[in-house]
Amino acid sequence: MRVGIGADHRGYLLKQGLIQRLGANGFEVEDFGTDSEDSVDYPDFAEALARRVSNGEIDYGILICNTGIGMSIAANKVNGAYAALVLDLDMAEAAGRHNKANILTFSAEKTTTEEAWEMFNTWRKAEFEGGRHERRLKKIQAIENAG
């Protein structure tokens, strides 16, 4: 499975920790940057990753900034990208089961590498339930397609 991961300067250290965990567990990882703790603009990384996830080139996307909010907003501007900010295992599971999210965003300020790893695994194992959630997803897609 191919995982894309990107972060701004505030999420750099968490990104590096997750890259190590992903690689050690057999995931093919594509690093979208950044490459240091020098200040950068998070929308650049969010857009690049979201485009690759939305067109199916990457199976799972992870984005990290200080709060996770900016990354999720920026990624969700790309058609077909469904980024969910998660702070715990319940949110991670719901992102998969209820929202069919294809990108997780993490708060570097509030999330350790171990917590992010656990949330990633919970999310990727959660199967979309469909039903009422499918109806809601279709409404979101209609909004998205309306521009």
9 classed as catalytic: no
133 classed as catalytic: no
50, 63, 65, 104: the catalytic one is: 65
Q: CB neighbours (10 Å) of residue 114?
A: 10
* Two structure tokens written together for 21: 């965990």
Residue type at position 87? L
C-alpha to C-alpha distance for 57 and 77, rounded to whole angstroms? 18
Asked whether 40 and 65 are in contact (CB, 8 A), the reply is: no
98, 113, 115, 118: the catalytic one is: 98
Give the pairing type, strands 2-7 and 83-85: unpaired
Return all residues near 88 (Cβ < 8 A) that are at least 6 apart: 119
Q: Which residues are catalytic?
A: 65, 98
